[in-house]
Structure 1
């Protein structure tokens, strides 16, 4: 089993997972609510009034990155005359079909969406949560995350953001300013917009929390380590995107040196026929979007040793070269099970006989692979859950513990583990084994994904309310604790399960973190 073949199966499996979870809209659409207008510095926008909240969708925070602005740092949006309709989401950034039905080829995508509860205004400015979506820095859209429950229950303003993805967001080439970090620069442009404009929507521009999950969580890590993000946000929430990810652990996001990113850029240029052009960048800017999407890698990685990201985030944290703000961080208990199930269903069974080869595909060092097989033995023909544990422990749980340790030496940190083993499934099919609490399973407790209302039990509804209370109190006071929720100590991990929200000290042992720390 080659690494390429396994990773291709991985990408297909996760694309299918995201497509079934995020994209579907409710079967019937409600009548369009009354409009409401807010004035920004670029011009007025007309949003939609709902029961207890307002939404403003598709607001441009930067100029469309078209033509010569493809692979250029984000430029200011062009002001408009008249009232701009903000009652519908704008296009997602270019991406293959998956989370976004049919994908997208529209580069005019640098927009954001604002959800604000009734009563917010200049006299009562509310904390702001800026949400960065996941998707391997290749797929996703801010409009997939309906934030009205978080806004109304938590009494906060929520901003969801589109940013450039794939090769259009992370291409690197010699002599190209912003190489390997255009998507991260877009996120910073959105944060600057929030500082300047959110007051008009009832938000407190001096109380901004940057939050995200998976690639969005790792983006928060990158912004913590980016000197050009200084002063743009005041708290950080990192969900399943640990700052200490590594390129040799291919499931969690990480960054790569600029030289590696440039080599990948040269490969892309060769694939689309621009490798030997006199002006490679001019040639690349003429390539149509579908051809770029077809040629790019499944997942993307930002580049460090760059002006935006001078140091790899793990090294920045270890050297105390990051923004000192409070952090809420965590992972799900069974992060790896979704990937393991997808790979098994793609025709790669995990049995006692195949297990050594499966491990060797992801851990090519023979000594390391042998140690993993001994630490995680497979005794039955269905070893998928063991494979899932290896993926989750190596890529998420233990790197999250390491991130927690590095951050907690300098800033207040609260850590959680989402542990609802009966969380709503993220796929419509039947998995080959119970998935427990896999990657992204906490999201339906915070958002209505793709506009779909949740299908939760009464106990799960209580957990969702408690999680929203924790997240939004953290945004308000830099401490998630409050009188209506179980106490969350800073020295332990808070396990989040229905009617069982308790501090635990067994996370490191459960996830074999001593083993992973020993093998490096």
Structure 2
């Protein structure tokens, strides 16, 4: 069951590149001397210092392709930090072509945004973009407003995507996770060099949304990252989500080789790798696209258990409170949040599927029959061992047979609950339980007055709530929303809300507390495993709640595993009975055979 999310990131790309074009008209050049060399930057229209396209890793070509990244090191002369960094190889879109976005294999670069007047080392916030591990880039997000609002240094980073970043054969030859290794190398570069730009290397917060949030969560479970960052914000994406990790069957060496035109050699598999390293960028991107076109709700390309960064499934790590992964995780202050309708990605369901089953999700929505007899069995087949009892229970919990509009809204809620909310609450609970070292915070983003720009033109009449990635409007984009869609109307309350969120995010980066250092009132309370308090983020309803969607979370955390356990127990009993019947047959029949033979 294919869901496409590329249009979200296309619009993010467009809106930021429009801003960059505006910045190009009035750049005040500056030059900075760093330990790696001199770099030219500029002061933008928001009165922030910006340095683009700083290399942290060597170009991943030749033997560096499908391998861990290597540090870039020093550069000669004055480096040009005024031109936008390229995107890592990905599928071209209308916006990328229209705005002439540069895509280049030599993409292991980062961008730095700082206030103009820096008198002391400032806390650092490192943004990791989302995009399903296949699209997006550092230039999709302008960090200048956040840097200026909170008096922090903001860094946005590129990392390899698709097969370039996550190809894995499940062996020691091609382990995978190269995109995660890129992120780690970028963090090491920041640790070693950010002081040259006014940042404090000991006060680093990593944050990201969707696959970026999942990346942040994964990085927070790698003990060797200790010292690279001390706080983490995970927005609509965590490591234990069913779509954060590639747990399903991987494409075989032979299948991927065929896509790339490289024959598989049973005797010498290294020859396949050698061939693949000669394949050009466009062919690898086409292969990535082809793999996603045949994908179900499982993640076809992404992080994997490699025996090095990740030694076992996240669920096993979460169940082992004494593990070094959990000890490191609980040493960090964290914020984890979701949007009320993160399942809005369903709106982008493959049109071919909609046509085949005779519905239009943008108009009348999902039918009860499609939800319960097609969509849910697909999800259950992918993630719950194909257990029909789970499919029936999900249908009973979410399906609305007599109201198609409400059935559609519940389908959005279900998708959000399964892939975003429930894993977020599980992550929060694991972090907060018996944790006296660090702080835990949860938010629920519910502001829906400005539909996100990727949805604005096609938002179905039945849709309600804040869609996936809508929180990004207020962190990054509020000032330029109308550049992309003049029909959207913003007012003072939108800017006030954006300022509030930016203050909360940067307060957390500075103090480990979104309320600030000396707040008398706990406007945003900590999350405790027994109470599960959260802050609702909304323009007119910034309120504290408890146990958000508790019934649904309990259903997914207790009822569904119970159904799977019952099925597993029944299967073991069936196998046991069959074995006993076979032994009974031997006991009864064999002596008779012997007597017959003797007779």
Q: TM-score, normalised by structure 1?
A: 0.90
Q: TM-score, normalised by structure 2?
A: 0.78
Q: CA deviation at 1:408?
A: 0.8
Q: 1:500 aligns with which of 541, 552, 575?
A: 541
1:487 and 2:523 equivalent? Answer: yes
**Contact persistence 1:56–1:113 (CA under 8 A):** yes
Show CA shifts across 1:183-222 (max 9, x none).
0000010001101111111111110001111111111111
* Matches of 2:253 and 2:229, distance apart in 1: 31
Q: 1:509 aligns with which of 550, 557, 560?
A: 550
* Matches of 1:189 and 1:371, distance apart in 2: 44
1:205 and 2:245 equivalent? Answer: no
1:33 and 2:18 equivalent? Answer: no
Where do residues 350-389 of structure 1 align in structure 2 (5 Å cutoff)?
Answer: 350-356=366-372, 357-364=374-381, 365=386, 366-378=388-400, 379-382=402-405, 383-389=407-413
Show CA shifts across 1:91-136 (max 9, x none).
100011249614865210000000001222xx41110000100000
Q: CA deviation at 1:475?
A: 0.5
Query: Secondary structure at 1:281's aligned position in 2?
Result: helix
Q: 2:468 aligns with which of 439, 455, 469?
A: 439
Q: 1:276 aligns with which of 257, 264, 268?
A: 264
After TM superposition, where is structure 1 displaced by more than 6 Å over at least 4 residues in a row?
none
For the pair shown, which has the larger CA radius of gyration, 1 or 2?
Answer: 2
Corresponding position of 2:333: 326
* Matches of 2:404 and 2:176, distance apart in 1: 43
Corresponding position of 2:502: 468
The 1:139/1:490 distance shift into structure 2, 3 A limit, reads: same
**Contact persistence 1:336–1:388 (CA under 8 A):** yes
1:112 and 2:106 equivalent? Answer: no
Gaps of 5+ in 1: 1-5, 247-251
Q: CA deviation at 1:177?
A: 5.6
* Matches of 1:153 and 1:486, distance apart in 2: 22
**How many residue pairs align between the two structures?**
500
Q: CA deviation at 1:275?
A: 3.9
Show CA shifts across 1:201-249 (max 9, x none).
1111110001111111111111111133222111111111122212xxx
**Contact persistence 1:145–1:451 (CA under 8 A):** no
What RMSD, in angstroms, separates the aligned Cα atoms of the two structures?
Answer: 2.5
Q: CA deviation at 1:497?
A: 0.6
Corresponding position of 2:39: 45
* Matches of 1:96 and 1:241, distance apart in 2: 23
Greater fraction helix = 2
Gaps of 5+ in 2: 293-298, 360-365, 484-488, 528-532, 562-599
* Matches of 2:223 and 2:499, distance apart in 1: 35
Q: 1:290 aligns with which of 282, 289, 293?
A: 282
* Matches of 1:344 and 1:353, distance apart in 2: 18
Q: CA deviation at 1:440?
A: 0.5
**Contact persistence 1:192–1:232 (CA under 8 A):** yes
Show CA shifts across 1:31-84 (max 9, x none).
131111222332111111124310001000010101121112111114221111
Query: Secondary structure at 1:336's aligned position in 2?
Result: helix
